Structure 1
Amino acid sequence: MKIERIHHVAYRCKDAKETVEWYGKMLKMDFILAIAENHVPSTHEPDPYMHVFLDAGNENVLAFFELPTKPEMGRDPNTPIWVQHIAFKVKDRMELIEFKEHLEANGVDVLGVTDHSIFHSIYFFDPNGHRIELACPDPEEEAMLKRMNEIKWDMLHEWSQTKRAPKHAEWLHKKELSSIE
């Protein structure tokens, strides 16, 4: 028994039509499905909703619910705004820069390019307030991932004991890659 892949991820949106149009224009996602009902199928709660689905590439589906009878969306006040986000992979740095320029030309504030060593990212918000990340692999990604794979359990164990950042991967943001084989 094993999970095959994520079927879809779903978030709440303020306006389904605006969300579909924004993701189509800004991130080139195709609108693939809409479901609307007056009762929630799983709970049978009487609550109208619009559920829209977008093609995020390679059988990845991003979905949103518009819930007009519920109070306005909020955020968990105990979680920093940078923590919860949706990250999408793009082919390479050139495409990442093209997206950055496209978003900025359309009035979206973009943070980055941020170099995470293994990958490079830009960050921005959709019209619902969800933080979005676009990331591309670093040319040395494969070698860095191999090195990170070798230390992941040691890092996790140390973190679980100390709740302080382990030193195993300090090289990551310093780009000290000379010892990577």
Structure 2
Amino acid sequence: MNELIEYILQFGSLNQQQSDLVTRKAKEIELRKDAYFSEAGHIPKQVGFIVQGVMRGCYYTNTGEEITRCFISESSLVVDYINFDIGAYSSEYLQACTDCRMIVFSKQNWEELSQAIVGWDNIKNKMVQLCMHQKSRKGPVISQDATTRYLEFLENHPSLTNRIPLAYIASYLGITQQSLSRIRKNIR
């Protein structure tokens, strides 16, 4: 839980009693590789903080093609916040790319923190803004050639290349897995 408290303290201050309350309202879980934290067609019910592992945001096109929109790794919140906040059905999946160790809050416990901690809403808003910024696709510009997109991916996500399946990276880059293999071979 120390990782979570350290993360929160980047956005505001908590006294020991408030930190203890946050810790009591959260629980640690493990999510196995390929398991879903949140699914399309369901209302998101929890906010997560990734202690260890990598998750991805993805969706399916109307033709059934799977598109990876973002990657979320350690020391980050993970939640489909807009739908979580208003209790609406999600249109995307949040899936573990690796085994993940997480700290999660139920909707009720997340909301109770707002009622119990003065200034929590300000801290929460800053954390959620960063979460949404990380989930917004800052990824490859499709007008760039595939090699440039991959090189930018390596620059922006150097620690992910050997941790997640190539199929997810290819989907994120908007190319086939075969094209990605060719590009990787050519730049070695």
Question: Which bin holds the TM-score, normalised by the shorter protein?
Answer: under 0.3
Give TM-score, length-normalised by structure 2. Answer: 0.25
Say which structure is richer in helix: 2
Higher relative contact order (CA 8 A, sep 6+): 2
Give the greater-gyration-radius structure (CA). Answer: 1
Q: When you count strand as a share of all residues, which structure comes out higher?
A: 1
